[in-house]
Amino acid sequence: MAAETARALQGDGGADGKPRHVAIIMDGNGRWAMNRGWPRLVGHRRGAERVKQLVRACPDMGVNWLTVYAFSTENWKRSTEEVLGLMKIFRRYIEREADGLAAEGVRLRFIGGRERLDRKLQDLMTGIEARTAGNTRLNLTVAINYGGRDELLRASRRLADRIAAGHVVEPTEADLSACLDTAGQPDPDLVIRTSGETRTSNFLPWQAAYAEYEFSQVLWPDFTPEHLASILDRFGLRERRFGGA
């Protein structure tokens, strides 16, 4: 792909050299709690509070899109207690933050397969998506029961249906992108993973093809707006060539 075409599809951050779309793998909640002798769910609750803080800070940093990895398709392998606790945290977050998000101009969307989630959570997700659909100050996307390979498989099936129906003749990258959970959203400029791990963990493999990556040693509950600001400053020093010389 030519560099110019890649830039048109992927974006090149904001005019000030800062990323307009940041995606975060929020890792380290369980370890943060266990390091203190607390149950893992305490770390997840503290991590949810950190999300609230970052959501409020992002617009002032020039970040218009924030995507966070909350629960992967692989996380179902965790203990029943932890999974049920996480689902309860998700429900409470939506219920308690709905008014605040709407008032602060945040548009909330979810990506990932919803069929495995309980009906109450699905209804809450649908409701807050509709309620905040007109907001533009910050676009917040939460990945729940999300896996990049699963998303690509589901997108491929949707594209195959469109081809069979005659809506698509010779599929392009844009056609597949339109079938993804993130259809209509810009690709991330920057992907951050906290806790010192250096895996991408099946997070946005298609969308992050041209993203810059930053791996932070900080556990997610300790990750502050100041940590994010430092990473954004470093991003501005990178030269993004998108395959060009």
Question: Looking at residue 11, what DSSP letter applies?
Answer: -
Q: Is 105 helix (H, G, I), strand (E, B) or coil?
A: coil
Helix axes 40-57 and 225-235, enclosed angle (nearest 10): 60
Residue 177 marked in a binding site: no
Residue 32 marked in a binding site: yes
Which member of 12, 64, 75, 222 is catalytic?
Answer: 75
Residues 6+ apart with CB under 8 A from 235: 13, 17, 18, 19, 189, 190, 212, 214
The gap between the terminal CA atoms of the chain, to the nearest Å, is 13
Residue 224 marked in a binding site: no
Residue 197 marked in a binding site: no
Residue 30 marked in a binding site: yes
Residue 73 marked in a binding site: yes
Residue 72 marked in a binding site: yes
For residues 214 and 208, give the distance between their C-alpha atoms in angstroms, rounded to a whole number: 12
Which member of 27, 181, 187, 189 is catalytic?
Answer: 27
Residue 65 marked in a binding site: no
Angle at 221 between CA 198 and CA 25, to 5 degrees: 35
Residue 78 marked in a binding site: yes
Helix axes 119-131 and 80-103, enclosed angle (nearest 10): 20
Question: Looking at residue 222, what DSSP letter applies?
Answer: G
Question: Does residue 75 have an active-site annotation?
Answer: yes
Question: Does residue 27 have an active-site annotation?
Answer: yes
Q: 162 exposed, middle or buried (CB, 10 Å; 0-12, 13-18, 19+)?
A: middle
For residues 24 and 17, give the distance between their C-alpha atoms in angstroms, rounded to a whole number: 19
Residue 234 marked in a binding site: no
For residues 50 and 86, give the distance between their C-alpha atoms in angstroms, rounded to a whole number: 15
Residue 227 marked in a binding site: no
Residue 62 marked in a binding site: no
Residue 149 marked in a binding site: no
Annotated binding site: 27-32, 40, 44, 72-74, 76, 78, 193, 199-201, 212
Annotated binding site for substrate: 28-32, 40, 44, 72-74, 76, 78, 193, 199-201
Annotated binding site for Mg(2+): 27, 212
Tell me which residues are annotated as active site.
Answer: 27, 75
